[in-house]
Structure 1
Amino acid sequence: MGQGQKGSSDKKEAKRKRDDGATPDDGHKCRVCRFPLLVALLQLLFGVAVTVVAFLMLAISPSLLARETPHWAGIILCLVSILGFILYCISNLPDEKASLKFIVKLLYFILCTIGLVISVLVVAFAGHHYSQTSSFFCGQAGEDCVCTLDEDDPIARNFTYEGVGDCEVITGTLTLYFLLQIVLNLAQALVCAVGTFIMWKHRYQVFFAGLQISSPSTQGWQKV
């Protein structure tokens, strides 16, 4: 009788754990590390950083072109991160909302891919301008700064930066900002690549969120 009561008690305990949908160790797991929350947080962080640095660059001279101040890349990544937060919030919706989850996952995959391409494009632009400004010979012309790649060539192309009172800002500060954009957008591209890979892996391979939701004997897992 004692063994029968003990077996019945174990079954009830296992059923209670299944109903709760988590094991006792789940409360100690890092929820921030779950996909796509961590990826979205990193995308938001790098997107804001890229945007801030771009506006700081634009404050140096209003004549800088859009490809030289890639605030648009940072803003796009901020929007992608918002969609990632939405995907994380709806990941636990019932199966009746499967179409909504599919649409959000598809949009997130597409936007992560676009973000990856944009980040690589910004790295190419920033690398070119970094190499260019590092070789500048600049001189003051009133309130503007006029730079050239070869001061001994009378027909060399001149680059005029309006509203710059000190040419050291172009050869020093602006060059540093270009280098910072290269680093930030490389990190941003890696984050987008990770997000794209995980979404592809979830669609075509087996990918688990890492939270066990049943008893050890059943070994059930919660998918993203």
Structure 2
Amino acid sequence: MGVFKSDDSPVPGDAHKCHGCRFPLLIALLQLLLGVAITVVAFLMLATSPSLLARETPHWAGIILCLVSILGLTLYCITHLPDERSSLQFISKLLYFILCTIGLVISVLVIAFAGHHYSQASNFVCEQTGEDCVCRLDPEDPVTRTFTYKEVSDCEVITGTLTIYFLLQIVLNLVQAVVCAIGAFIMWQHRYQVFFAGLQIGMPSPQQWQKV
């Protein structure tokens, strides 16, 4: 004779069996590394000339991504409760999802700005004027726009080094956009694709049978 017992409540130890699996730790670490790299490259760009604008040196994008990664690491350390019974757990997941989405949008904007400035800097014709570097897209056009970069000792920095920095920003922010999209998708999937549909009534699994 055999009977079975139902297991309606989660086992206390199940929440800690895969502590590293309940949140994508690798995503948060990648966000931290990318945020630091983007910020460092942006400040290196700013060191070439103080005339560069904020949209040309997107250190703000790297700082925001570092904040997202810190929230992700904090979420990893929060004690997991089934069905999101902890308000701190729910709020942290919601903020992480929102910040990942914002990070994705910001990365796309940085890629657009960096791509535009990269195409401009690649076509610059520059000449040294004292301690400044004056660049034009078409030196034969008298009404063409003039770009003046102050405190630049060599115009090769603008036409060579700066374009490499723009290219690095494009690559780093492209990877950052992908990582933020993956992080947002994982949070969305964990929140809305994993749910309970009530008690299951049917034949028990072989592991639930006990002999009496």
Scaled to the shorter chain, the TM-score interval is 0.7 to 0.9
1:57 aligns with one of 6, 22, 45? 45
Q: Does 1:178 align with 2:166?
A: yes
Question: 1:140 & 1:133 partners in 2: Cα distance?
Answer: 15
Give the Å deviation of 1:99.
1.1
Q: Which stretches of structure 1, 4 residues or more, deviate above 3 A after TM superposition?
A: 18-23, 93-97
Aligned residue type for 1:38: L
Aligned residue type for 1:133: A
Query: Residues 1-224 of structure 1 correspond to what in structure 2 (within 5 A)?
Result: 21=14, 31=20, 35-93=23-81, 98-206=86-194, 217=207
Aligned residue type for 1:199: M
More helix by share: 1
Give the TM-score normalised by the residue count of structure 1. Answer: 0.77
**Aligned length in residues:** 188
Deviation readout 1:67-117 (Å, 9 max, x if unpaired): 000000000000000000011111425779511111110000000000000
Aligned residue type for 2:75: L
Change in Cα spacing, 1:100 to 1:153, as seen in structure 2 (3 Å) is: same
Question: 1:141 & 1:48 partners in 2: Cα distance?
Answer: 35
Aligned residue type for 1:64: L
Question: 2:102 & 2:127 partners in 1: Cα distance?
Answer: 40
Change in Cα spacing, 1:121 to 1:96, as seen in structure 2 (3 Å) is: closer
* Percent identity between the two aligned chains: 77
Give the Å deviation of 1:217.
3.5
Superposition CA RMSD, Å: 2.4
Which consecutive unaligned segments of at least 5 residues does structure 2 have? Answer: 1-10, 196-205
